[in-house]
Amino acid sequence: MTFIPVTDITNFRPTQAVIGQEVELHADVAPGNATNQTIEWSLVRGNATIIPGTNKFIGHSSELVTVMATIRNGKQQ
């Protein structure tokens, strides 16, 4: 089997959240036939919690939150 790397992660959703409510994160991976398309989410900045082992987070204040999407052996955005 040939390894096909991720070349891009786009269309992050959502772009807004409500304080205290759990939010599910989504993004599109290109190419669509990349070998590993599992996104790992991490908090870069802001008062929020990434729920371990999920693609969900909870914001704790009205400040800007920055979340990073990473694919192991792929591309980071």
Backbone phi, then psi, for 58, in 5-degree steps? -130, 125
- Locate the domains of the chain by residue range: 8-70
pLDDT tens digits, 2-48: 888 899 999 999 888 899 999 999 999 999 999 899 999 999 999 99
Question: Quick check: pTM over 0.85?
Answer: no
Instruction: Write down the pLDDT at residue 26.
Output: 95
Angle subtended at Cα 9 by Cα 33 and Cα 30, rounded to the nearest 5 degrees? 20
d(CA 8, CA 31): 7
